[in-house]
Amino acid sequence: GAGVSQTPSNKVTEKGKYVELRCDPISGHTALYWYRQSLGQGPEFLIYFQGTGAADDSGLPNDRFFAVRPEGSVSTLKIQRTERGDSAVYLCASSLLAGAVEQFFGPGTRLTVL
């Protein structure tokens, strides 16, 4: 596609439930990034993939969060046993290569945990 797409755009769930957030990067981009943006804050890094492997997952807050990119394109961010504090906008970005190369962002998924 022309840009990074994310689905769903909005997700409302109940505390304790499992959610999956999807990201489709720009075609041909090898690097994919996940960020989380809480209300009134700047985005914070979660994890990034170079190809199929997670090159840096140092931003994942705890073991309830997990992400995969099995074929090196689409990525899924998975959150188990959701908590109210997980409510945020989850942003995905991709870049042609890894490294300090311009990242292009998707519209985000707004997650609300009730």
Partner 1 sequence: KQEVTQIPAALSVPEGENLVLNCSFTDSAIYNLQWFRQDPGKGLTSLLLIQSSQREQTSGRLNASLDKSSGRSTLYIAASQPGDSATYLCAVYNTDKLIFGTGTRLQVFP
Q: Is 57 in the site for partner 1 (CB under 8 A)?
A: no
Binding mask 61-90 for partner 1 (x = CB under 8 A): ------------------------------
Q: Does 102 bind partner 1 (CB under 8 A)?
A: yes
Left if phi > 0, otherwise alpha if psi is -120 to 50, otherwise beta: which for 13?
A: beta
Residues near partner 1 (CB under 8 A) are 31, 33, 35, 40-45, 48, 55-56, 59, 91, 93, 98-100, 102-108, 110
